Chains A and B, each alone.
Chain A
């Protein structure tokens, strides 16, 4: 590091002219980072391998080269250190965007995130805010080895003071990240690893230069339907859309709501959809017990009870440590499991018998 004010003196090399094009989600995130750095000289990137290498997923590819090492740099391999350092940088007026290399590698930083990142505004009566974005490649479906596929969103969503965002589309990866970097509060930005190579468009040049920051707290209806609402986020939105298509063969018209931000949560859009359809299934890749899906199911039943024709069901990952690659298809919510859940939504208004037999009476007596 130099002692100069290089962060403010140099004009970064201009990024290629933005134009609507089909890009990968990884490239869309790269573009969002570049555009944010160009728009605001206080935006800095750092983490493990994000500099010269461009990140293990190449999300920061070329940024250190084009913007200089003062704006995008490698750190020692220590996640609490990275987050704690970001807290200090933010106190000095920067807007750090930091990378936790993989979901499970963020756990050493949990104390910094839960005790400081989330609470600094409250601990200082609003005098010190921390505009930090913590990017976390998360979830599975990539055949990864242990500690590389955790769905850790519930830990963050359960922590007051953190916004938790997860894009399901390439366009949202761009739009939501720009808004996250612009946000005055800390944002946990969870990037579904298996969507890094998915393709889609980023917004038109005009939207890139003058982005609108109005997506947080606004879920998107990705597909309209009249019989069932599927609520999903991040990597599960594609599963929901595929299930919705498949469900038409059984005569079900399925609506898909993509939450986009878990915090702030959009009760309004979710409840409006369920009031219309009368049935709801929540999909999440994370293990189900005490998860975000459970919270959503509870909220829907509290707010739309008289509109419901059936209990809100959940399709979630199994309550197990992340499985080996050959078995992950059994763990991950798939189209079939979602269709099974839809089939259980009391279409004949008959009781669901599966829970009528208790463990005690249903054994080998």
Chain B
């Protein structure tokens, strides 16, 4: 490991080049920036450094994403949202995953990836529609090229594989970014998804955000594997592990992973080592299963301050830029607060609208019953 605080010349991107270690992940997580934002070399020779433009954009998006996330947590605590699973601390993964994609690619997120969806450009109010009180995902998956946020863990990975394979069969260069956490790697669907993806050479990037806990259960009780990145090897999938709080490393690895998948060489599995700074949701009490020293230790590895230090050092941003990024984030949060101030208006008849394309006679009877009850209630007021 060497420290190099000068700007490293950018390597020529070679998206078709296979991963240097074949299927094996690096022995340690790939890193470009240490915890102080110093440029280091930790198993990163295989990865072209992201462009300055991409890194500056990542910084702005992380600042915005964190402000969105803390605002959503606040709204949940105020009762404006039924629940909010925060991703504070995971900004590098949330932003990096979306910046590595092209607009025509698809994302298959979990409930904890709201920040990624906002980064993708989805309307934050639509992203939060479900916890705001709807029975649907809020956004148009087709228009936004983003599958509904998935709650049954790892189940949507298979959808990503089938979708990517379908796009490939149609001759379209679409890549699917499929999200899962450390806990989700224990689910059977995770393993079936890896296997199907490998067998069909589906252009999927599986991003495992290892944030240390599945609600309260630590990684040590989840797996005996040396790294979750190793789980790809047995399926014949090129795998990697990366410092998930190093935005430069996350971007570098995912840029390559997406290019690899797009070039028809098959899926890639990336484990990003990160940490869930907040509790599982606003309804969870994390002090019951982890101590504050551990949390403090991870706060010191903050992905935003780390990238900010590097960008300042490299002369790519200055105080004015930082201030304007913060101001944009504040305005974004204020707008979100305003737009979520009112209760969501849900039409009772919507209960029956999308069970089938055409409601069954039984559903029509039930709808008529509810309609009559509501009219009677209205009349008695």
Contacts and interface: CB of A to CB of B under 8 A. Distances in A.
Contact of A123 (B136, B169, B188, B362): B136
Given A70-B169, A80-B192, A81-B196, A122 B264 contact: no
Given A89-B163, A108-B188, A126-B354, A81 B158 contact: yes
Given A86-B162, A87-B158, A78 B355 contact: no
Interface in A219-273: 263-265, 267-268
A91 B159 contact: yes
Nearest to A92: B166
A267 B362 contact: yes
Interface residues of B, number: 44
Most B CB contacts (10 A, CB to CB) among A123, A126, A161 go to A123
B148 A124 contact: yes
A127 B141 contact: yes
A115 B155 contact: yes
A112 B196 CA distance: 15
B342 interface: no
Interface string B7-27: 000000000000000000000
A108 B196 CA distance: 15
B170 A121 contact: no
Interface string A101-120: 00000001001100110001
Nearest to B189: A80
Interface string B176-214: 000000000000110011011001110000000000000
Contact of A267 (B152, B171, B192, B361): B361
B11 to A, nearest CB: 27
B163 A121 contact: no
B356 A88 contact: no
Contact of B162 (A78, A89, A129, A161): A89
A115 B162 contact: no
A111 B164 CA distance: 21
Contact of A85 (B162, B170, B171, B354): B162
A191 B171 CA distance: 34
Given A124-B148, A126-B354, A85 B158 contact: yes
B357 A84 contact: no
A324 interface: no
Nearest to A93: B166
B325 interface: no
Interface of B is mostly: helix
A94 interface: yes
A128 interface: yes
A76 interface: yes
Interface in B322-369: 353-357, 360-362
Interface stretch (A1-9, A59-67, A312-320, A348-356): A1-9
Contact of B189 (A84, A91, A267): A84
Contact of A5 (B170, B189, B357): B170
A75 interface: yes
In this complex, the interface size class of chain A, counting residues with CB under 8 Å from chain B, is: 35 or more
Interface in B122-172: 135-137, 140-142, 147-148, 152, 155-171
B357 A88 contact: no
Nearest to A4: B171
Contacts of A129: 357
A128 B354 CA distance: 10
Given A76-B199, A88-B161, A126-B354, A112 B141 contact: no
Contact of A84 (B135, B162, B356, B361): B162
B264 A88 contact: no
A86 to B, nearest CB: 6
A70 B200 CA distance: 11
Contacts of A91: 141, 147, 159, 162-163, 166
B360 A217 contact: yes
Interface in A153-208: 160-161, 163, 184-185
Contacts of B193: 81, 84
B196 A89 contact: no
Contact of B159 (A3, A116, A163, A267): A116
A89 B362 contact: no
A123 B158 contact: no
A125 interface: yes
A121 B354 contact: yes
A122 B135 contact: yes
A263 to B, nearest CB: 7
Interface in A1-44: 1, 3-8
A208 B137 CA distance: 40
Query: 3 closest Cβ contacts across the A-B interface?
Result: A88-B162, A84-B158, A92-B166
9 contacts: A1-B169, A8-B170, A80-B189, A84-B196, A93-B166, A123-B136, A127-B140, A128-B141, A163-B356
Interface of B: 135-137, 140-142, 147-148, 152, 155-171, 188-189, 192-193, 195-196, 199-201, 264, 353-357, 360-362
Given A122-B355, A185-B356, 17 more contacts: A3-B264, A5-B171, A76-B192, A76-B195, A78-B192, A78-B195, A84-B157, A84-B159, A88-B165, A91-B162, A94-B169, A124-B141, A124-B354, A126-B357, A217-B361, A263-B360, A265-B360
